[in-house]
Structure 1
């Protein structure tokens, strides 16, 4: 840093260049992007600095669409709806919901990408050992598989995998991660004697792995997707009204087991 650039260099970015009357995002004049890039394409450009098109853009957008919402029983959605009745405003209600996304609720996609990468490195013959080692390290649940509500299939997963198959057939993604996901699903079904469906986290993780995303970025994209549902529910609750809504109707009480 020089004396003249010490402040400018405090924040260094390749994302945006701007001066009065000019805005460039990732080197593209903003007026050339407006009307010529879809929102999913713009997200990818902003986050990765790369262009995305064709089947790759299609499966990326499909992953974003598929994960937008899972109803008021999802903690992030429930929190946003409750917050919307507390007088804090729409954006604060959205932030409340987003802040509920963590390792357990919202982190499975990131973890599933890690699992897929580990399975890829070990090879298909070592799949059982890979899964056993993962469970020894992380517990009995495998990220991206099983669903307490959608049984025997999560309706989103087959459609997403079909789109990945199309992209692989066109030579735009490797396709191997979809094979790994299906192999894990089959192994779990054999172990338990019943279907253990790949869920939305497992299916979107296939897409993010196929696109070369680092695992943390898969979680970031999930949060971006789920923010759409959070906004929709927070706004719906705002329109419905209500004051200080808690997680259950007032007639229900908690269990007290203290002294």
Structure 2
């Protein structure tokens, strides 16, 4: 029998949800050991995200870079499924929280999860470099394995709407600036550029870094593990989801579907047919 199994009563209850994140009693709230009243007004929202996820406060410059990445991915318009879903949900009479939840629930591997995939991909290259391989060789080996095992797009590259994602070059330049000041190593920026160059050599054309790849670079530089990249994207895109849900709620439309009502879907089923008559008809 374990020690936990032997505990009963209040001791068992208090340890049921053991956490290192928050301590709370009547009149007292501490986050990672810091009194909330000392954090309020002195710690920015990006710094609070860092503290909650990592357990320690970041430097001001680390928090600034995290905030830059979060700000870059807040919205991509109503053509993005998550935004469209939030707007449609609001026309159905649900609360703004339900609209946001509906939108967040579709941020999966295809829509919203590519940043996690990109950072995992870049992390494989970083691990090979740690094992003594040069950057170009490590990137080439990872790309060889990818194209041998998978079909589709290298995570973090290309965009179905933008020939060049306008956010990515700026984010990479900002990362280079922070690396030049010693805030981050600049290693993941190098890796992303090596991947981009490696794909261009194989494809014969440049497939530029996208928002997922660029933010993955920043989150990698700041030391976040790949799974948190998806959660950070959710935090970021929730801003746009909230803005669109609120805007839609002010427009007074009801039951708004994905297409104008005068446009119907393409039907590809059986032509019109009659139900066979029963024998007694």
Distance 1:128 1:29 in 2: 49
Distance 2:205 2:61 in 1: 33
1:199 maps onto 2:205 in alignment: no
1:258 maps onto 2:269 in alignment: yes
1:160 maps onto 2:171 in alignment: yes
Distance 1:92 1:138 in 2: 36
Q: 2:151 aligns with which of 139, 142, 156?
A: 139
Verify the 8 A CA contact 1:26 1:46 in the aligned structure 2.
yes
Q: 2:138 aligns with which of 104, 114, 126?
A: 126
1:237 maps onto 2:248 in alignment: yes
The SS at the match of 1:234 is: helix
Compute the TM-score of the two structures, normalised by the length of structure 2: 0.88
Unaligned runs of 5+ in 1: none
Verify the 8 A CA contact 1:110 1:215 in the aligned structure 2.
yes
Change (3 A) 1:38 1:86: same
Q: CA deviation at 1:225?
A: 0.5
Q: Which moved more, 1:193-202 or 1:217-226?
A: 193-202
Aligned residue in 1 for 2:184: 173
Q: CA deviation at 1:7?
A: 0.7
The alignment of Structure 1 onto Structure 2 pairs a total of residues equal to 258
1:110 maps onto 2:116 in alignment: yes
Distance 2:188 2:139 in 1: 13
Q: 1:66 aligns with which of 62, 67, 72?
A: 72
Q: Deviations over 1:164-192 (max 9, x none)?
A: 11222222212111001111112223333
Distance 1:115 1:139 in 2: 15
Aligned residue in 2 for 1:19: 25
User: Larger Cα Rg: Structure 1 or Structure 2?
Assistant: 2
Unaligned runs of 5+ in 2: 271-281
Distance 2:84 2:71 in 1: 20
